Amino acid sequence: MNSIKLRKLTNSGLMAALVVVGTMAIRIPTPTKGYIHIGDSVVYLCGIILGPLYGAVAAGLGSFLADILAGYVVYAPATLVIKFLDAMLVGFIYGRFTKNNPGNLRKLAVFSLAVFWGGLIMVSGYLAFESILYGFPTAVLGIVPNITQAVAGGILLAPILFFLERRKLIGK
């Protein structure tokens, strides 16, 4: 195994663990028996730092493990898929449209767009899953908390990402 692949795998494991910690550190229950947490900021960071594929795997597995450890076992399979797709899309959009070292304003715009689309995946994914689980009228109650979680994750990550990129701690 070459050193680059080993480094990617190691970083993926570390990021998955960070997703677990971020997801479990603060949990606010929602009406649909889910919870709001700050782990989405780490899910987005996975996609941005590790790229769409490795980031998606780390985010999906970390979120899956957090649900199991927090006692939300019924959500774990859906969370695996939803957070995988969320991080994959954020990583793809951010990587694709910041590839040529754009200015900070463009990076912020691309980041906001990536978080919007990733958040849309998360909100619609949980709406679909909770509609199956509880019925559509109950599932609708989870929309606002899920939007809040997605937006809060983006707001929390934005200055951290700016700092990490400015200090050249991440990036190409």
| Residue 157 placed within a domain | yes
Mean pLDDT score, 88-92: 98
Cβ atoms of 114 and 157 within 8 Å: the answer is: no
**CATH code, domain with 91:** 1.10.1760.20
Q: Is 61 exposed, middle or buried (0-12, 13-18, 19+ CB in 10 A)?
A: buried
Q: What would the mean pLDDT of 7-13 be, rounded to a whole number?
A: 94
Report yes or no on 33 lying in a domain. Answer: yes
**How many domains are there within the chain?**
1
Residue range 114-172, pLDDT digits in tens: 999 999 999 999 999 999 999 999 999 999 999 999 999 999 999 999 999 888 888 75
Q: What pTM value is reported for the model?
A: 0.93
List pLDDT tens digits, range 92-128.
999 999 988 778 899 999 999 999 999 999 999 999 9
- Does 27 map to a domain? yes
| ∠ CA 55-14-38, rounded to 5° | 70
Residue 143, domain extent: 3-166
Beta bridge pairs of residue 29:
35
Q: Is residue 125 part of a domain?
A: yes
**Span 116-125, pLDDT tens digits:** 999 999 999 9
Buried b (16+ CB within 10 A) or exposed e, 30-59: bebebbbbbbbbbbbbbbbbbbbbbbbbbb
Residue 57 has pLDDT above 80, yes or no: yes
- Domain-embedded: residue 171: no
| 89 occurs within a structural domain | yes
Q: What is the pLDDT of residue 97?
A: 92
Is the pLDDT score of 16 beyond 80? yes
Q: What are phi and psi of 35, to 5 degrees?
A: -160, 150
Asked if residue 172 is part of any domain, the answer here is: no
Determine, yes or no, domain membership for 100. yes
pLDDT for 99: 86
